[in-house]
Every structure is written in C-alpha cells, then in structure tokens.
Amino acid sequence: MARWNANPTSGGGDHFLDFIQKELMPQIEKRYRTSCYRVFAGHSLGGLMVIHTLITRPDLFQAYIAVSPSLQWNEQRTLHQAQQFFAEQAELKKALFFSLGNEGNTPNPMGEGFEQLQKTLAAKAPKGFHWDSARYPDETHGSTVLRAHYGGLRTVFADWQMPVNPQDGGPEGALAGVEKHYHDLSERYGCVMRPSESLVNQLGYQLMGRRNWTKPFARSSATWNSIPIPPTFTTAWEKVTRTPASLMWRSKTSRERLRRAV
C-alpha cells in the first residue's frame, strides 16, 4: 500500500493527459501554426508527470524534460514502471533529459531515484533513444528550474545548429550541406524540417559572393518548399534570366526556363 498521504487530493494525471491530448492539442493546432515536434517539460511532481507520460503515452510527445522529478513518490512506483518500460523497448526514437539540484547532495529517496534511472539507461537504453542527465549541486529545488530547462533544450536540440564554414562564415557545404543537414534533422526528429528564411538568404549571399548565380535555383526538393523567397534569390534571378524579380515564379514557363539555364 502506498504510504504517501501528505497530498490526499493528488492524482488524476491520466485525466490531465486526456485533456491535453483530446482537447488542448487539437485547439492549439486549429488556431496556430504548429510543428509536429512536441516537447513536454515539467518540474518536481511535474517532472514525475513527464516520466509517467513518456512510459505510458510515448507517442504523445517527441521529447521529454524532467527537472528534479519526484521519483521517490509512492515508493518509487513510477521509477519501477520506467525501469520495466525501458527493459521492454528494443527501439525508441524519443529524447529525454532529466536533472537534479541539491536535493541529492545527501542520501535521500529523491536522489536515489535519480541515480537508479541514470543506471538503468546507462546499462541499456533502447536503440534510437537520445538521453542525458545533469546534476546541479549549487542549485536548490526552486532555483534549478531555469538552468535545467535550458540544459534540457540544449540536449534535445543539440544537433539543430547548421555547421558554419570558418573561412567565409556561410553554411558548411553550401547548398548541398544545407540540404543534407535538414534531411538529417528530419530523420532525427521525425518531422520535415526546413531551413529558415534567414539561412537561405545567407546561403544566397555566399553563392553570389562566389559569382555562382545559378546554384540558388539548382534544387527544388522538399527541403525548400514553403520558404519565402529571400532578397538574394531575387537578385540571382535577375542576373541569370535578365528578367525583373517581380516575375519570379509567376509562371511555369519562367520556372522551366530557369531550370534549363542552370
């Protein structure tokens, strides 16, 4: 029998997840432009809720951040469930970051739960499962929140930044490098990831600096769909086609003429 009765009104986590999944998420997706990549983060009992969600509804989110999770709760029930869950998973394309402040500076159930989860994942993590953990012994249970969430986001998006060529400051590998980077990101995150308009604009400047006018238009893969045409590409259009940029992509004939010229 569970011994935790300090909060007799606690519980109901799965009802809360039902609300998130069936009511909140559909409304957000209906009203706003969203990404298919979702991150769930929580602190203390909220961190416990993050671990619970990962092991009971792993597909609800793609990444999980548990800050000082209360793994000692209810005689470490969620911890034991997590250990069983990970033992049964051959592959799991998700990400997890969990942390602990000075709660674990002295031996106690909360620190012990944290260490047991570390040992479980270090011994055998599922294939494709990206995880990391951190301890912040100079942070309290309250002060660790900001620092740990930042550390969690850095872990989740560790490979997000486009590598830079140190010689010219442009994207490493130029056009082919950008396409490969965002193809790899799409594979890693399970969503179609596209470069930002500012990155595409920077790439255009890089190519024009080399007087390579045609390469900004040399590819038309899914990587580039739905990206606003940046100023550098309109300049390149005018250089290649001798056509005003106002006609850019206006007709199929114009697009085909450019492709033949490349």
Name the nearest CA neighbour of 94 among 22, 18, 184, 190: 190
Q: Which two tokens stand for residue 39?
A: 């991150």
DSSP string, the chain: -----S-TT---HHHHHHHIIIIIHHHHHHHS---S--EEEEETHHHHHHHHHHHH-GGG-SEEEEES--TTHHHHHHHHHHHHHHHH-SB---EEEEEE-GGGSS--HHHHHHHHHHHHHHH-PPBT-EEEEEE-TTS-TTTHHHHHHHHHHHHHTTT-SPPB-TTTSSBTTHHHHHHHHHHHHHHHHTS-----HHHHHHHHHHHHHTT--SGGGS--SGGGTTPPPPHHHHHHHHHHH---GGGTTSSHHHHHHHHHH-
Look at residue 259 and tell me whether its pLDDT is greater than 50: no
Residue 51: predicted pLDDT: 98
Note the Cα 112 to chain centre separation in Å. Answer: 29
Using an 8 Å Cβ cutoff, are 93 and 58 in contact? Answer: no
The domain locations on the chain are: 36-156, 174-261
d(CA 227, CA 142): 41
Q: How confident is the model at residue 10 (pLDDT cuts 50, 70, 90)?
A: confident
Please state which of the ranges 31-35, 53-57, 76-80 shows the lowest mean pLDDT. Answer: 31-35
Per-residue pLDDT at 117 exceeds 70: yes
pLDDT at residue 60, rounded to an integer: 96
Q: Please determine, for residue 233, whether its predicted confidence score (pLDDT) is greater than 70.
A: no
pLDDT (0 to 100) of residue 219: 47
Distance in angstroms (rounded) separating the CA atoms of residues 131 and 225:
31
pLDDT value for 244: 57
C-alpha span between 208 and 239 (Å, rounded): 10
For residues 99 and 236, the model is more confident at: 99
| % of the chain residues with pLDDT over 70 | 76
Of 26-30, 98-102, 125-129, 219-223, the poorest mean pLDDT is in 219-223
Is the pLDDT at 96 greater than 60? The verdict is: yes
pLDDT of residue 241: 56
pLDDT band at 119 (very low <50, low <70, confident <90, very high): very high
Q: What is the pLDDT averaged over residues 248-255?
A: 47
Are residues 61 and 190 in contact, defined by beta-carbon separation less than 8 angstroms?
Answer: no
Mean pLDDT of 102-122: 92
99 or 8: which leads in pLDDT: 99
Which two three-digit tokens encode residue 82? 């997590």
Higher pLDDT, 91 or 227: 91
CATH 3.30.300.180 applies to domain 36-156? no
Per residue in 137-167, pLDDT tens?
Answer: 999 999 999 999 999 999 999 999 999 888 8
Is residue 261 predicted with pLDDT exceeding 50?
no
Amino acid at 258: L
How high is the pLDDT of residue 62?
94
pLDDT confidence bin for 238, thresholds 50/70/90: low
Q: Write the pLDDT tens digit of every residue in 182-232.
A: 999 988 888 888 888 788 777 777 766 666 555 555 544 444 555 555 566
